[in-house]
Amino acid sequence: MKQNERASFGSKLGIILATAGSAVGLGNIWRFPYLAGENGGAAFIFIYIAFVVVLALPCMVSEFIIGRRGQANAVRAYDLISGGGPWRVIGLMGVLTGFLICSYYTVVSGWCLEYIYASAAGQLKGDPDYIQRFFSSFTVHPWKPILCIVLFFLMTHVIIVRGVEKGIERASKLMMPLLFILLLFIVVASCLLPGASQGISFLFNPDWHAVTGSTLLAALGQAFFSLSLGMGALTTYASYFTRDTNLTKSAAQIAGIDTLVAILAGLMIFPAAFSVGVSPDSGPSLVFITLPNVFQQAFSFAPALGSLVAVMFYALLSLAALTSLISLHEVCTSYLHEEFHITRSRGALIVTSVCTVIAILCSLSFADYDWLTLFGKSLFDLFDFTTSQLLMPIGGFLTCLLLGWFVPRHVVKDEFTNGSTLSARLFAVWLFLVRFVCPIGIAIIFLNQFGVI
Ligand code: PHE
């Protein structure tokens, strides 16, 4: 590579796996199955897929266009495509979101590491009360969660410092197939349990009566978070795409992988939960309280298999979290590296250090310290809320306005069609969606969550 040549992903497979790695994360495993189960099973899955196609995919292509055109970090990429001016704020919001998500996401990712160890060491055996106490005492333990956070950041840091091709791409090519193998193994083990078919039909029987207005909003919000939209991660990765990458096709493949993983996560959780008559919930309590009980009871005929499934499950979660964290870290690192003219390693060191400190504060906020509570929310909840409910939808909305209405049409079309080498058949449809459908859709979820409409 020449001195000043910008880094890029080395292969098409690398592009797809790295970007799908950003998308596939904790959101797919702890939220999607629950949302589907609560909102009419297959009915929710249909609606979700429709929203992914009509709303999320056009936004993803928009972020790809901005990133690949700019060949730079998110802030500069927004600056370049808009010809300077206030639009760079979207990139800056992305970097801020990256810092914040990186910090709280690592807290939960760290818990997964501890749970790999705890399942392997047979510590997660006991009645439901015990499992509940295990979780609550671990989260407020003075140093264990902090050690896990530091370990998780170290792994992320090492991968980021190695660079785009040798670090991010290579790690994704290794971790994503492994994630699939673990997922498939647990799906098979779960679906073979006695009574598993009830869980399968719960997930796949469309119950259209369960669909309400809030189902639509839940599907839309989930699509955005799950596909890592609205915060510069996709823009940053797209800046490493090669010139001949077909942006629409790649977006469709990435969204396809992300949705497949989410559905498979449902097939991993529901059959096992139904076979022991437990109704699954979502979020940390699903992963760290309900599921350890489910694994233990469902595989009580072969406890060693139960422990193996549990270890594999937490390893799977850790991998999913790690590939997402890498993309969050990269948004911040590439910004510091390119805008402040410091080396990539120094940029990464700053991001890792700052995020580790904030993550430790987020982790401590579980112990209900008053000084870590703001606006009535713990630091952890506050960051979660600010990013997924405020910054990401605003970022997605503004991105659509920018590409749909402000950037000259020929510039956008040129990038969309790789300089007219690809068919422009879908361009008009995409532009219509980005101009009207996406901003209106995002504005509706955004305003609705604050009770405005
Ligand atoms: N998409 C990730 C998930 O589903 C979360 C994420 C959001 C990752 C934004 C990167 C950027 O968990």
Residues 421-433, mean pLDDT to the nearest whole number: 96
Give the contacts of 285 (CB within 8 A, at least 6 positions apart). none
Rounded CA separation 315/73 (Å): 31
Q: Output the pLDDT for position 30.
A: 87
* Ligand 1 centre distance from Cα of residue 268 (Å): 20
Q: Which residues line ligand 1 (CB under 6 A)?
A: 22-23, 25-28, 101, 225-226, 228, 231, 233, 324, 327-328
Q: Is the CB of residue 108 less than 8 Å from the CB of residue 26? A: yes
Residues 112-144: tens digit of each pLDDT: 999 999 999 999 999 999 999 999 999 999 999
Residues 413-437, mean pLDDT to the nearest whole number: 96
Rounded CA separation 222/164 (Å): 28
**Quick one: 336 exposed, middle or buried, by C-beta within 10 A (0-12, 13-18, 19+)?**
buried
Q: For the whole prediction, is pTM greater than 0.75?
A: yes
Q: Output the pLDDT for position 3.
A: 46
Lowest mean pLDDT among 173-182, 292-301, 315-324: 292-301
Q: Is the CB of residue 305 less than 8 Å from the CB of residue 311? A: no
Residues 362-382: tens digit of each pLDDT: 999 888 777 777 778 888 889
- Indicate which atom in ligand 1 lies nearest the CA of residue 320: 12
* Ligand 1 centre distance from Cα of residue 24 (Å): 7
- Indicate which atom in ligand 1 lies nearest the CA of residue 321: 12
- Indicate which atom in ligand 1 lies nearest the CA of residue 25: 12
Q: Whose CA is nearest to atom 9 of ligand 1?
A: 228
Return mean pLDDT, the chain.
94
Rounded CA separation 19/13 (Å): 10
Nearest partner of 392 among 218, 263, 238, 223, judged by Cα? 223
What radius of gyration do the chain's Cα atoms show? 21
Q: Output the pLDDT for position 204.
A: 92
pLDDT-derived band of residue 1, with 50, 70 and 90 as boundaries? very low
* Ligand 1 centre distance from Cα of residue 105 (Å): 9
Nearest partner of 355 among 377, 316, 326, 378, judged by Cα? 326
| Residue for token pair 């990186």 | 102
Q: Output the pLDDT for position 77.
A: 98
End-to-end CA distance of the chain: 53
pLDDT-derived band of residue 231, with 50, 70 and 90 as boundaries? very high
**DSSP assignment, residue 373?**
E
Q: Is the CB of residue 75 less than 8 Å from the CB of residue 339? A: yes
Q: Output the pLDDT for position 4.
A: 55
Best of 225, 322, 391 for a ligand 1 pocket test (most atoms within 8 Å of beta carbon): 225
> How many Cβ atoms sit within 10 Å of the Cβ of residue 164?
23
Nearest partner of 40 among 200, 199, 201, 211, judged by Cα? 211
Q: What are the percentages of helix, strand and coil residues in the chain, rounded to 5? A: 80, 0, 20
| Residue for token pair 């009915």 | 43
Distance of CA 99 to the CA centre of its chain: 14
Q: Whose CA is nearest to atom 11 of ligand 1?
A: 228
* Ligand 1 centre distance from Cα of residue 18 (Å): 12
Q: Which residue has the higher pLDDT, 248 or 286?
A: 248
* Ligand 1 centre distance from Cα of residue 232 (Å): 11
- Indicate which atom in ligand 1 lies nearest the CA of residue 229: 9
